Amino acid sequence: MTSILEKTTGLVAFVRTVDAGSFSAASRLIGSTQSAVSKSVARLERRLGVRLIQRSTRTLNLTAEGQAYYERVAPLLRRIEDAEDGRPGGFGSQGTASSICTSGVRKGAHRGVGSGVFGAPSRCET
């Protein structure tokens, strides 16, 4: 049985990899090694039973399943971070805040369009 900590580690590694554009950039954001981030994403893929990122020697591309998973989990992770940081929409805020986030994932990247999945920078507006 996988613990919640193991599940969230894989989720964070996956979202950070997509946001950063590479395992090495994600490892710098997370404060871990490239190998640990890559292995964490691989464990997540095994647990889910689906390939999320198609890897080659030079590029990473989201699969259709990876794109769908990212679109579901990235906003959840951002909400958790907002709650921890006390930003609008987080814990203790009053009223309702709505956010519009763009992930930096190129549309159609899971089909091999463009040079990789990681194009524009992430951006959130409240």
* Percent residues over pLDDT 90 in the chain: 52
Q: At what angle do helices 23-30 and 34-48 cross, to 10 degrees?
A: 100
**What 3-state class would DSSP assign to 22?**
coil
Q: Looking at the predicted structure, is the pLDDT value of residue 58 above 80?
A: yes
Contact 26, 17 (CB under 8 A): yes
Could you report the per-residue pLDDT of 73-105, keeping only the tens digit for each?
999 999 998 998 876 655 554 444 444 444 444
pTM given for the model: 0.68
Residue 106 confidence (pLDDT) above 50:
no
Residue 124 has pLDDT above 50, yes or no: no
